[in-house]
């Protein structure tokens, strides 16, 4: 659903396709608005294990590609980016997605936002010191931004340097909590998507918070370090040796990672942009539209 809405809204925005706008609006109403079909604004039972429960099901609302190798990162969209797609649809087709639709979706996101901040299962995700915690921050801040809760956006962004960089990143740029997984390369890249998305949102929506693109601890831990550490692997110069990878790795994720990195560090735009362009399917990647470089910059 999220991937379809993302594609249809982009078509409405870039190509003025009214049929695609109407279909995107129908999908959104079905999932979030209509009483007979709408999803409950909660992830309490996501990934549930009967009789045990599960405290980290919020991850199901991240980019939908399986970090183990299933799906396609270019077309997998998190709830955060789904909300961005709604903005595109509003601008492109106000007749298809009108004020009552926006009000109904706002109400859903407010309930969802409240669940994220208060539910014990969501807070278990917040406490995680790996990609699950990174995605919690991205999802919590994006929902808060969508409904205008600036205090939550600010709180998440203020805490991120200590919670996500100082605690998770080593001085050489690796992510030990991800390297220990059986699909370590996939999870390393998965965490990078969340951290870069969070950095971009914080730079945009919480300008008084530390800039996560530029933040560095006294002993050299930084988001830039993670991106540089992964660069030889994303460039194909070195094989993955940091941990196990029991399923095939999907390199299309690097189009998303390094295109965002190129925007986050403009002085490295050419170098990071070249890595993004080298990935499979990069010339036709949706990221070229959704993460555009400034006019005249390649």
pLDDT tens figures, 222-277: 999 999 999 999 999 999 999 999 988 888 899 999 999 999 999 999 999 999 99
Q: Are 280 and 291 in contact (CB under 8 A)?
A: no
* Residue 194, number of CB atoms within 10 A of its CB: 24
Q: Are 136 and 80 in contact (CB under 8 A)?
A: no
Q: Are 1 and 60 in contact (CB under 8 A)?
A: no
- Nearest to residue 160, comparing CAs of 120, 119, 193, 206? 206
* Residue 120, number of CB atoms within 10 A of its CB: 9
pLDDT for 209 equals 97
- Output the CA angle 180-165-232, nearest 5 degrees: 60
pLDDT for 175 equals 96
Alpha carbons within 13 A on the beta-carbon side of 133: 20
Q: How confident is the model at residue 65 (pLDDT cuts 50, 70, 90)?
A: low
Close Cβ partners of 65 (under 8 Å, ≥ 6 residues apart): 71, 72, 73, 76, 250, 253
As a whole number, mean pLDDT of residues 155-174 equals 97
pLDDT for 286 equals 85
In the chain, the largest separation of any two C-alpha atoms, in whole Å, equals 57
Q: Is the pLDDT score of 74 beyond 80? A: no
pLDDT for 70 equals 54
pLDDT for 72 equals 65
Distance, CA of 287 to CA of 155 (rounded, Å): 29
More confident position, 245 or 73:
245
**Tokens linked to 39:** 């999803």
Q: How confident is the prediction for the chain on average, in pLDDT?
A: 92
Q: Is the pLDDT score of 48 beyond 90? A: no
Q: Is the pLDDT score of 141 beyond 90? A: yes
pLDDT for 47 equals 83
As a whole number, mean pLDDT of residues 84-95 equals 96
pLDDT for 214 equals 97
Helix (H) or strand (E) holding 120: helix 120-127
As a whole number, mean pLDDT of residues 160-175 equals 97
Residue position matching structure tokens 């995700």: 125
């Amino acid at each position: 659903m999220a991937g379809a809405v993302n594609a249809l809204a982009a078509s409405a925005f870039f190509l003025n396709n009214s049929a695609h706008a109407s279909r995107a609006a129908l999908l959104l109403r079905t999932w979030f608005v209509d009483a007979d079909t709408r999803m409950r604004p909660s992830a309490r039972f996501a990934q549930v294990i009967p009789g045990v429960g599960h405290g980290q099901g919020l991850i199901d609302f991240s980019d939908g590609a399986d970090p183990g190798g299933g799906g396609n990162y270019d077309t997998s969209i998190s709830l955060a980016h789904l909300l961005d797609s709604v903005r595109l649809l509003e601008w492109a087709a106000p007749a298809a997605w009108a004020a009552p639709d926006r009000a109904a979706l706002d109400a859903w996101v407010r309930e969802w936002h409240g669940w994220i901040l208060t539910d014990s299962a969501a807070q278990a995700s917040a406490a995680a010191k790996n990609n699950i915690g990174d995605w919690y921050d991205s999802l919590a801040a994006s929902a808060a931004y969508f409904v205008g809760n600036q205090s939550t956006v600010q709180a998440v962004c203020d805490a991120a340097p200590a919670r996500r960089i100082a605690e998770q990143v080593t001085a050489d740029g690796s992510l030990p909590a991800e390297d220990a997984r059986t699909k370590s390369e996939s999870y390393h890249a998965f965490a990078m998507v969340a951290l870069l998305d969070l950095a971009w949102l914080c730079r945009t929506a919480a300008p008084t918070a530390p800039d996560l693109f530029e933040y560095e601890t006294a002993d050299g831990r930084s988001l830039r370090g993670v991106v540089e550490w992964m660069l030889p692997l994303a460039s194909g110069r070195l094989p993955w040796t940091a941990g196990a990878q029991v399923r095939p790795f999907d390199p299309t994720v690097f189009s998303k990672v390094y295109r965002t990195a190129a925007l986050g560090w403009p002085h490295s735009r050419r170098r990071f942009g070249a890595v993004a362009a080298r990935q499979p399917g990069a010339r036709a990647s949706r990221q070229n539209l959704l993460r555009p470089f400034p006019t005249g910059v390649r």
